[in-house]
Amino acid sequence: GIQVEQSPPDLILQEGANSTLRCNFSDSVNNLQWFHQNPWGQLINLFYIPSGTKQNGRLSATTVATERYSLLYISSSQTTDSGVYFCAVIKAAGNKLTFGGGTRVLVKP
C-alpha cells in the first residue's frame, strides 16, 4: 500500500511563530487532505488539496504531486492551533484514505 510520512513528529512553537509541516507519500495520489485533530479529539478538515496551493486565513497548503509531497504552513501561530495535524491520501486508482502518523503541535503562550 501507499506510505505516508509526516515530519516533524512533534513541534513546539511559541505563540506568534510560523511553521511548516511536511507530508511525503510514496505513490501518485488523487486525493490529499489535511486535518487538524483538536485537543477534544475532533477531526477538522483544513484542506482538500490533491495538487496546487490553497490558503485559508493563517493556514496555507501546497501539494507538489509530481514530487509526492505536501506542505502545510501555519503563520502567526495561536494556542488554539495546538493539536495533531494529519495528512491523508488516496492512491491514484485506489479507494482508501491512508493517514500519516501526524505531527503533534504545541503552541505555548
Partner 1 sequence: DTAVSQTPKYLVTQMGNDKSIKCEQNLGHDTMYWYKQDSKKFLKIMFSYNNKELIINETVPNRFSPKSPDKAHLNLHINSLELGDSAVYFCASSRGSIPYEQYFGPGTRLTVT
Interface with partner 1 (CB under 8 A): 30-31, 33, 35, 37, 41-43, 45, 48, 50, 84, 86, 88, 90, 94-99, 101-102
User: Residue 55 or residue 76: which is nearer to partner 1 going by CB?
Assistant: 55
Q: How far is 77 from 29, CA to CA, in rounded Å? A: 29
Minimal distance in Å, beta carbon 55 to partner 1?
A: 17
Instruction: Say how far apart CA 57 and CA 100 lie, in whole Å.
Output: 24
Q: How far is the CB of 82 from partner 1 (least distance, A)?
A: 14
C-beta closer to partner 1: residue 2 or 17: 2
Between CA 40 and CA 24, with CA 99 as vertex, the angle to 5 degrees is 120
Please state, in angstroms and rounded to a whole number, the distance separating the CA atoms of residues 19 and 105: 10
